[in-house]
Amino acid sequence: MRLSYNVSSPYVRRVSLLAAWLGISDKITHITCIPYTDTAFRDKNPGGLVPSLELADGSHIHDSMTIGYYLDQHYGDGSLMRAFTSGDIPRLVLYSEIEAMQQGLVKLRQDVMRGEKRPVDWYIERYRDTSLRVCESLNGQIAALEVRDFVTASAIAALGMMEFRCPDIVWRESAPELALWLDQQESDAAIHASYPQEL
Ligand X SMILES: N[C@@H](CCC(=O)N[C@@H](CS)C(=O)NCC(=O)O)C(=O)O
Find the shortest distance in angstroms from Cβ 187 to ligand X: 32
Cα torsion 41, 42, 45, 48: sign: positive
Using rule CB under 6 A, residue 139 touches ligand X: no
Cβ neighbours of 134 (radius 10 Å): 20
Beta-carbon contacts of residue 52 (< 8 Å; ≥ 6 apart): 3, 4, 33, 41, 44, 45, 60, 61, 62
| Interacting positions 69-108 with ligand X (CB under 6 A) | 106
Identity of the residue, 74 or 107, whose beta carbon is nearer to ligand X in the bound complex: 107
Identity of the residue, 98 or 180, whose beta carbon is nearer to ligand X in the bound complex: 98
Identity of the residue, 35 or 46, whose beta carbon is nearer to ligand X in the bound complex: 35
Of 1, 2, 11, 158, the residue at the interface with ligand X (CB under 6 A) is 11
Helix axes 120-139, 150-165, angle to 10 degrees: 130
- The Cα-based distances of 195 to 118, 148, 163, 191 in angstroms read 34, 17, 10, 7
Using rule CB under 6 A, residue 163 touches ligand X: no
Find the shortest distance in angstroms from Cβ 8 to ligand X: 7
- Contact between residue 3 and residue 30 where contact means Cβ atoms under 8 Å apart: yes
Of 5, 45, 46, 48, the residue at the interface with ligand X (CB under 6 A) is 48
What is the binding site for ligand X (CB under 6 A)?
A: 9-11, 35-36, 48-51, 63-65, 106
